[in-house]
């Protein structure tokens, strides 16, 4: 991953330890809480792209108006309807990803949002 700037807002990215959740995975509070039997789910978008969400972000971002999910599924009244559940994800180790401190998103998710706007 050679990306140095956020594909949404072009802020410089930071490398962080992240949890599997694409949305809150880079937040220090999520990382601090990680490991206590958190449940993550992998979903597939209508575009065929996959993403991993924690239960909290599935609700907050894909069911509450204004969430990031509305950027991924603008045609859905409730973007959670566009998510196809693939599998549960069990993970006990943190990953590394780039993180945008302005959007407060992992690069993995920022790429999905940026790609979606383009098609």
**CB atoms closer than 10 angstroms to residue 9:** 13
Nearest to 27 by CA among 38, 19, 39, 35: 19
Q: How far is the CB of 65 from Zn ion (least distance, A)?
A: 18
Q: Is 24 in the site for Zn ion (CB under 5 A)?
A: yes
Q: Is 9 in the site for Zn ion (CB under 5 A)?
A: yes
The residue (of 78 and 114) whose beta carbon lies closer to Zn ion is: 114
The residue count for the chain? 119
- Owner of token pair 């599997």: 20
Query: Contact with Zn ion (CB under 5 A): which of 38, 52, 54, 73?
Result: 54
The residue (of 7 and 73) whose beta carbon lies closer to Zn ion is: 7
Beta bridge partners of 87: 42
47 SS3 class: coil
C-beta of residue 52 within 8 angstroms of C-beta of residue 40:
yes
Q: How far is the CB of 106 from Zn ion (least distance, A)?
A: 10
Q: Residue 69 has what DSSP assignment?
A: H
Query: Contact with Zn ion (CB under 5 A): which of 38, 57, 83, 111?
Result: 57
Return the residues of window 98-117 that contact Zn ion according to CB under 5 A: 100, 102-103
Interface residues with Zn ion (CB under 5 A) are: 6, 8-9, 11, 21, 23-24, 54, 57, 100, 102-103
């Amino acid at each position: 991953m050679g990306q140095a700037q956020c594909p949404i807002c072009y802020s410089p990215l930071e490398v962080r330890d992240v949890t599997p959740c694409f949305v809150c995975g880079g937040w220090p509070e999520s990382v601090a809480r990680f490991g206590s039997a958190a449940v993550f789910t992998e979903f597939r978008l209508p575009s065929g792209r996959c993403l991993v969400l924690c239960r909290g972000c599935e609700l907050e971002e894909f069911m509450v108006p204004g969430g990031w999910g509305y950027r991924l599924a603008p045609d859905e009244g409730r973007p959670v309807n566009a998510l196809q559940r693939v599998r549960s994800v069990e993970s006990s180790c943190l990953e590394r990803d780039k993180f945008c401190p302005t959007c407060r998103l992992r690069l993995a998710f920022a790429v999905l949002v940026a790609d979606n706007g383009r098609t």
